[in-house]
Chain A
């Protein structure tokens, strides 16, 4: 009764009928990004030649086996079938175990990989928007917004909250189709849901006021706030609410939308953190003033999205009925949109990134307080399709920080190793992904701290203060506002505040 060597008999005696194919059916071409919990590769299916995206599910450091977030994503994606929602084609597994550095298999650490297979998409919205010189046309913006709302409406009808709507999670193919992606934070909700949900979701700049005020019962309206932020961002050509921490985020929201009171938002004063955050003096709503350059219908719709009280915020369905989408210029046909050079050239990106790191590191040492700069141009007001000169083929927005940042660890440029390549000189346009993935590793309440060497994810934070129950060093916890400033205006803390910090840490606790 001798047992076979691992893997050997797997080949001779293929497993009976079970589902998952091997990842060997695909040839990995290059890494194109980093999802909420694993790397993303561009790959070619060997048999058919079809190009796909493979998203690896990270499973080491998991005390609780297969990550709940991956379970949710798989569960949700298998349920959703819509042209504006990324389709999970299949799940493939890598046979056998990878060995760790010492060549020892460790039984309780998943080393063999699980990959989700998706349609390959050429771009994401932020990457596209950040191409220097590129201008979206109004019909183009309407076209993207319409697709976004259609996809989101479908999710909401099917009782799924996306919980991380932002430009880099809106993928766009070269036929102009927009698809919602990265359901790593998504979850099902029901209207009679008794349980509490975590409020540590949605990337800070797109996070609605109710979450920032500590709501743990919420619904589709949270995603609609994010949509409003994206909408305004497309028209305004830069992010509208780039807070550095939760406090500042709320302040920015109040400065724009006015401060909430019981009249405009019944019940707000009973929100968990209302008293910590309420502004010293009442602020007036200034959306119309801020965005007076928007056209009338756009402004009208935006006003309905950026409503503080979630119960009064417009739904995806109603937004689709807005005048904006039914008046000239009408949303264009996706197929009529210009195609852009594919963004996923990992090698060039890597090179470019390296170059940028050096430049930025040098710059940062001179400038203690770098300004936020944005190179985007406002949309063209008239038809005509813009063909941007892709001299900076905007990186795929998927960060690729699977390696430790090479940047020397000065106080304020930790992130440049991770920053996504974007139009210069605003690489900090989005907080680097290191946080996002870092949050994953980091927040195991010390679990990962000693026993595992940093794996490049969130490495810059390793030295930071650990908060076992908050977001570790991410300052996810409401009372921790220290992070933002530390990194200058890098906006990095925006991402640092990203959801999973706290959430993952407590993913099996009360927070859902």
Chain B
């Protein structure tokens, strides 16, 4: 049976906290080095997924030499968190089913395990992830529609699609906590042997847990824990407020099952960790972002600011394809 147990998510995309920190550090370091060497970090991408890395600075006396400050790991985290939140905004604006934002968020997270935000602007990647998630979850919306809906150029979405899919190593099936939450709630029905008038309580529990899951998706937890554990943590938080079931007893029942991988104390500890991440999640404010944004802008360089390429695209469709990919290569700025 193909399920989470046999999934690429389990095999490849769940990390220990140390490993995850290393990945972020390494992605950041690569960009920092490129910035030092090249004076910019932006990696150009074309629709076929081909990458163009910045070239080394030719003469050091150039004005490009002015000291550019790279983002640090923490600032990168902020940047990602800010745009992850935007993923949910976009998805709710389109009234997409829940799993789409969850899939898009996982894609976004995985993408930035390979790359620094200094190399690919998270705004563009975010949109592409939403677009790709719609495709994978069979909820297709045209790139144009997404672009129109949020006033962004849809060609950028298409331009990054290949790069995103490749960075995901084409591991497209992702598991989110939502279905697991539903599964557990169904299971609780049996566990409690609920009467009809108690069904409403479980429905409320489901709703509240789903809201917690929306938050957990914005943290690093999906890269650290399997969806079932995320689901249980969300349910436990929700149940803490609603008091629908005796959660400890329910957990005991779960770990007493023959295929359980954990003891009750292990599971409780895991859930505590997830809960900690949920409770400590803080949405970055625009104000937090201001400074970081400025830094990011200078790292990415002016050579291919989107406004510029957008103008070109408007001028002529065909020309723009050419120019947006060629100009940065051939025309030195400065």
Which residues of chain A (231-254) have a CB below 8 Å from chain B? none
Q: Which of B53, B114, B115, B172 contacts A4 (CB 8 A)?
A: B53
- B328 and A3 contact, CB distance less than 8 A: yes
Which of B42-50, B87-95, B243-251 is found at the contact surface with chain A?
B42-50
Contact of A508 among B46, B115, B140, B334 (CB under 8 A): B140
* Consensus secondary structure, chain A interface: loop
Per-residue CB proximity of A11-25 to B under 8 Å, as 1/0? 001011111100000
- Picked from A1, A59, A78, A114, the residue with its CB within 8 Å of the CB of B172 is A78
Using known A-B contacts A9-B52, A19-B170, determine if residue A107 contacts B142 with beta carbons closer than 8 Å: no
Contact A105–B322 (Cβ < 8 Å): yes
Residue in B closest to A68 when the chains form the complex, CB atoms: B135
Interface centre among B166, B168, B333 (most CB of A within 10 A): B166
**A26-46 interface with B by 8 A CB criterion:** none
B228 at interface, CB cutoff 8 A: no
Question: Which chain B positions have C-beta within 8 A of A18?
Answer: 114, 166-167, 169
Return chain B residues, CB-CB under 8 Å to A15. 51
- Give Cα A195–Cα B301 distance, bound, in whole angstroms: 45
Interface residues as binary, A475-512 with B (CB distance below 8 Å gives 1, 0 otherwise): 00000000000000000000000000000000110001
Is A7 an interface position by the 8 A CB rule? Answer: yes
Q: Is the CB of A3 within 8 A of B52?
A: yes
Does A3 lie within 8 Å of B169, measured CB to CB?
no
Contact B58 A68 (CB under 8 A): no
Please report which residues of chain B, range 50-72, place their CB below 8 angstroms from some CB of chain A when the two chains form the complex: 50-55, 57-58, 64
Given contacts A64-B143, A108-B321, contact A1 B162 (CB under 8 A): no
Asked if B236 is at the interface (CB within 8 A of a chain A CB), the reply is no
Chain A interface size, as a band, is 35 or more
Given A97-B46, A97-B48, A508-B140, A9 contacting B53 (CB threshold 8 A)? yes
In the complex, whether B38 has a CB less than 8 A from a CB of chain A is yes
- The yes or no answer to B165 lying at the interface (CB within 8 A) is yes
Across-interface contacts of B64 in A (CB, < 8 A): 1
Q: Which of A243-296 contact B (CB under 8 A)?
A: none
User: Total contacts A to B, CB within 8 angstroms?
Assistant: 157
Tell me, yes or no, whether B239 is within 8 Å of chain A by CB: no
Answer yes or no: B39 CB below 8 A from chain A CBs.
yes
Please give the distance in Å from B133's CB to the nearest CB on chain A: 11
A10 proximal to B (CB < 8 A) = yes
Residue B266, interface by CB 8 Å: no
Given contacts A74-B172, A78-B170, A104-B322, contact A1 B38 (CB under 8 A): yes
> In this assembly, does B8 line the interface, its C-beta being within 8 Å of a C-beta of chain A?
yes
Q: Does A410 contact B (CB under 8 A)?
A: no
Q: Cβ of B2 and Cβ of A81 under 8 Å apart?
A: yes
Q: Is A110 an interface residue (CB 8 A)?
A: yes
Contact with A along B159-179 (1 / 0, CB 8 A): 101100111111111000000
Contact, CB under 8 Å: B8 / A9: no
Residue pair B161, A1 in contact (C-beta under 8 Å): no
Tell me whether B1 is interfacial, beta carbon within 8 Å.
yes
A66 within 8 A of B: yes
Point out the residues of chain B lying under 8 angstroms from A195, CB to CB.
Answer: 138
Provide a sorted-by-A list of 12 A–B residue pairs whose CB atoms are within 8 angstroms. Answer: A2-B55, A3-B328, A6-B329, A10-B53, A59-B48, A63-B142, A64-B135, A65-B47, A66-B162, A68-B135, A79-B173, A105-B321
